[in-house]
Amino acid sequence: MSPDPISVFAKIMVALRLLYRLLNLHYEAAWTDSWSHRRCLHQHQTLIEAAKCAKPRGAGWYVFAVEGDTPRELNETEDRIVNEFRFGTVRGLGDNSGQNLREKPPSPN
């Protein structure tokens, strides 16, 4: 018996959506300036790159992810990497920590 074409189509769409998000993931720096929220609008490929962009903007900076066109908060692992950069607690990870994370697919929520 051949598989139900509608369910096969649904599985393909789920896979394509996930792939689109993975291929279009980048990070941006954000900060507050005179009570308004600003973002750098760069497409940083790593968390550390975005954090380095954000750091000179002052103490209230943060990094967020953009999947496709949709901004989202960092997940726990991403957040830890940014905090390690912010507080200088990175041990042996260097600048590649964000890159390593990028090679793993983010959890689909």
Q: Which residues form the interface with Zn ion (CB under 5 A)?
A: 29, 40, 42, 53
> Could you tell me the smallest distance in angstroms from the CB atom of residue 13 to Zn ion?
32
Structure tokens given for 10: 């649904």
> Could you tell me the smallest distance in angstroms from the CB atom of residue 46 to Zn ion?
11
Q: Residue 1 or residue 41: which is nearer to Zn ion going by CB? A: 41
> Could you tell me the smallest distance in angstroms from the CB atom of residue 29 to Zn ion?
4
Q: Residue 40 or residue 93: which is nearer to Zn ion going by CB? A: 40
Are 72 and 65 a contacting pair, CB within 8 Å? yes
Instruction: State the DSSP string of 62-100.
Output: EEEEEETTEEE---HHHHHHHHHHHHT---S-GGGHHHH
